Each structure stands twice: as structure tokens, then as C-alpha cells.
Structure 1
């Protein structure tokens, strides 16, 4: 039976004639633009809202005007496909969109950090490139109904690019060093919908900084910390991306960890989070699959963090053994 808190969905069920092919392509593009996801052949879903109803109603009209047929329904899923599975479909679709933004932003950061191209050189057109990426990110975010994990990484990288354009120094935070003992008893705040970088940082905190550390997951990317709170992997956070380093790498450097097994672990986290294949370790692909499966099967962030810790414990133990050998 459907639970009381099950979601209401809008379903567009259509039949489009095989000819002309232009109509099929037009409708497919239209559904991509509004953020609908195919849950079955010719069955598209969107979370229930007035905007979704309007978008799908116009799409249905285009189908009928083109000689096709269809219907628009409100639905709850009772058996078979679950709300969590549908949400995962939406997140996976948006993930692929964000990954393209992340890759292009990383490429710009690498070019601007190498000393070759300057973002302020008129020939480079740095402002235009960043503005174009920002528009694409805004368009994707507008149809990211369930906030895919990669959205935060893309936002952090875009703000890093904007900071470089404005001439702000990105090295001030990197020169700061903390005493680990001063970090005990803190509440560590990060964005909801955890994925690799945030789980890795949580694992590092619990294992090496404060075994009793408390975590808080927030939806507001501009969250203002309360006394006793530290933010990580959030723009403006006390620990976040710096240049082409993910938050996990930044924490290891700033807390001056000398554990050699953390080096390959950080390389795996970097490549999964920033998607630039900088290190190319063979175990990265498999570990990414495990984390992606964890995200799809465990929507609760507290449980996702706990289960993610076990994955990182295992990979860390593997690298410890490799170092001893």
C-alpha cells in the first residue's frame, strides 16, 4: 500500500506517430528542457507542481497538434517502482549535466593556474566563459528537482572561477593551519544529499580529528554557522574546495596529516568528485560505483554517512596494507 508520505507525480503517457520524425525529436527535446524523466517507454514523470502541470500540458498539446495522442495524470506508486527509485532517476539525469559543467570548470581552473592563460587577458574572454557556464548551471539547477549531489561541486567551482576573475587571492586559506585539538567538540555542517567529498571529510573528521564529532546536514547553500559549528564542502565554508583541490584534499593539507595511506585515498576522492581523471587510479571506478549505489539505496544522510564510513574504512585498510608491503 502507498504510505501517507508517498509523493504525487505527474505522468505524461503519449503515443507519437513514427512519421514525421521531426515531431518525435521536438517532443523529446521539449521534455528534456522541462526536466521530465522517462520511467517507461513513452511514460514521462515530473514531481507534482503547478509549473510541472503547465509544462506537461503544453507538451501534450504539441503532441496532439502533431497528430499524436496522450494523457496527463496525477499518480502515486503503490507497488513496483518506488518514489526513491524515481528520485534517483532524476538525480542521475542531472548528475550527467553537472558533470559536464564540472569538467569544463576544472579545465579553466587548470589553465588559469598553470601560468599560461590569464583570466584577465581580453583574448581569453574569461568573463564570457564564466558567464556562459553560469547560465548553463542556472538552467540545470532550475530543473534539478531533487538536488543532485554534483550540484554543490559545480556551484563551488563556478564561484572559484568568479573569485579568480575578481582578483581575490585563493591562497590565503591554503596558508592557514589548524591545531586538531582545537576542533574537538564542534558540530560539522555540510550540504544534504551526501556524496564522495562530504562522506570522505566526515570519515576523516571522525577517524582522525574527533571520534565523537556531530554532523548537521542543511539544504541552504548559504547557511550561516552558529557558535560551535564548522562548515565543510560548502561555498564560504571553513573547509571547502581551493583551486583544483577537493575539500578532502584541503583538509588533509591544512590539518597536516602525514599518513601515507591518505595520499592514494585523496586521489580517488579527487577524481570522483572533480571528474578530471587527474590521478587515474584503477580502483576509482569501482569505488565510484559503490558510492553511487549507496546514494541510490540510502536516501537518509545520517545512514548514508555511516555506511559510507565503512566503505572508506575498507579502502583505507587496503592502502595501509599496500604501503606496508
Structure 2
């Protein structure tokens, strides 16, 4: 039987006035990476650094007229270790996604003809340094290696290349996925276009030996070393009008000219909005529908589906060369 993890738990009580103390303590807990499991109850992993951070925070609370205590604890009923880990992942996921979005905006600006990151007026090095410092700060409190960390690293590496004046390659599959290798990728069962496409992308570009797991529960909580995609609150899922396949390509910074038209086909089949209207979409949808009818099991459907995506990818590759 796996022993429960041991945690540090801060329980505190702060006077309602002044408001400044409550805000100060809340910000301090955010800065050190603590997560709330109930009102005024915060958790951190059991490390010496965490013990020091919470001790200083408790001293500030007491000096401000409040009180509290720090305990070492194991959760054996009710709240599980997996649920606590999910709280830490979600907290850092939000931090990384905000950074990725800002870096992506900067990448789009620097890639355009209107902005040169090496122009002193643009202040490219200063902007990149600011983002790198933020990444370092987030990584320092990313105690359980949130999957979005790898995507943030790749985004900043792409900015470094632009700043150095390196030409953008037509196909860029930089081996920057070390943090994502050896993971188990989890998605909903009954595979169809978006989940098939994402599974294919993971195996082809991220980790050729990646384990894929299909679950019935759309609100499945990930276990250690698992990454969810195309499911509720997943690490990779729909954003705005983008399907999960498009989100993964952007977040992982995979630059391959054949993935552009391929993602448009997946988008129109998945979202049914005819946004791109490619001529290949109707036929590929028919093939996938036949695949589902012929192979009710997800593993067989995945294996056959990968062949379809390999063929469509090869087709778009050939189109580009011609």
C-alpha cells in the first residue's frame, strides 16, 4: 500500500481589520506557493524551505494581531493526496498559461515585419529578461513539475531564437520535450477526431513511446505523472474557438508546415463551424466516421486512426513541396 504524502499545514486566524494585513498574508502565501484547502487553511509539501516560508508567514500573522499554527500532516480520509496535487498543478498551470499567452503575443509581434526585437526601441532583451525572471519565479514554486512548464520553456526558447536573429525553420521539432517524456497522457474514451489527432501528435512529435490512457469520467483527476487532454479542466483542452489539437500545437511550439492545414481539417470536423472549409474535410470526416463504426474499441480505433493521420500529414507535406 502506498503511504500518504506528508504535508505542512498552516491554520491561521487574522483580525478582520485592518484589511491590509489580510491582503499582505494572502500575497505572501501566493508568493511561496502555498495552496488553500479551506478558508484560512494552507498546504505546502514537507520541505525545509516550505517550513521556513510558512514560519515567517506565521510570524507576520502574529505580529499583526492574529494567531495560527503549523502542523505536519497526512491526509488519510476525505481530501486525497491526488486532489491536493491537482490544486498545486492548477495553481501553477494558471501562472504558466498567463506567461505563455504573453510570450505568444510577443512572438507574433517579433515575427511580423512591423517589429524587430533587435531594434533598441523595441527593448527585446529587456522584455525577454522580464519573462525569464517570471518563469524562474514560477518554477521555484512548481513543486510537482506542472506539464505547462515545458511549453513555457519552449515559448521562451523561440523568443531567444528570434532575438538572436535565427531564421525560422519550416519544420521545427526541437527536442525540448524532456519534461513531457515518460508521462501518461489521459483523455476521454470513445475517441474521435480531436482526441485521435492529439494522441497522434503526442506520439509523433512529443514522445514516441508515450502511454495513452482512455477513461470514462470527463472530470477525471490526474494521478502522478499523468497529463490530461481534451477533457474537463485538462492541462490541454479547448480554448476560445480553438480545438485541443490547435491548442497543443501552439502551446508546444511545434512549427511544421503540414500541421497548419491538418489542424484546419481537425478544427472544422470537431467544432462543425466550417471556419476553414478545406476540400479535404468532408472526405476525412467520412473516413473517421467509418473508423468509429468498424472499431468500437479505443485501442484499435487509435491504431487505425494513426494511419489515417499519417496519410493526411504526408499528403499536406507533399502539397507543400510541389
- TM-score bucket of the superposed structures, by smaller chain: 0.5 to 0.7
Residue 25 and residue 124 in structure 1: after superposition, are their counterparts in 2 closer, same or farther (change >3 A)?
Answer: same
**Separation in 2 of the partners of 1:205 and 1:81?**
32
User: CA deviation digits over 1:157-197, x for unaligned, max 9?
Assistant: 001001111112221535x9xxxxxxxxxxxx736475899
Q: Tell me if structure 1 keeps the 8 A contact 2:9–2:71.
A: yes
1:133 and 2:131 aligned: yes
Q: Secondary structure at the match of 2:119?
A: coil
What is the match of residue 237 of structure 1?
none
Q: Tell me if structure 2 keeps the 8 A contact 1:248–1:266.
A: no
Q: 2:258 aligns with which of 253, 260, 267?
A: 253
**Separation in 1 of the partners of 2:146 and 2:50?**
19
Q: Tell me by how many angstroms 1:5 deviates.
A: 2.6
Q: Secondary structure at the match of 2:68?
A: strand
Q: 1:69 aligns with which of 67, 70, 73?
A: 67
Q: 1:214 aligns with which of 203, 209, 216?
A: 209
Runs of 4+ in 1 over 6 A off after TM superposition: 195-199, 256-260, 265-268
User: CA deviation digits over 1:122-164, x for unaligned, max 9?
Assistant: 1000110000000001001100111222111111000100111
What is the match of residue 285 of structure 1?
none
User: CA deviation digits over 1:73-113, x for unaligned, max 9?
Assistant: 00000111010101111111111111111111111111111
What is the match of residue 91 of structure 1?
89
1:262 and 2:266 aligned: yes
**Separation in 1 of the partners of 2:202 and 2:140?**
33
Q: Tell me by how many angstroms 1:252 deviates.
A: 7.3
Q: TM-score, structure 2 length as denominator?
A: 0.61
Residue 198 and residue 136 in structure 1: after superposition, are their counterparts in 2 closer, same or farther (change >3 A)?
Answer: farther
Residue 161 and residue 265 in structure 1: after superposition, are their counterparts in 2 closer, same or farther (change >3 A)?
Answer: farther
**Separation in 2 of the partners of 1:72 and 1:170?**
51
Q: Which runs of 5+ in 1 are unaligned?
A: 177-188, 220-240, 269-277, 280-305, 317-325
> Over aligned residue pairs, what C-alpha RMSD do you find?
3.9
Q: Tell me if structure 2 keeps the 8 A contact 1:119–1:126.
A: yes
Q: Tell me by how many angstroms 1:43 deviates.
A: 0.2
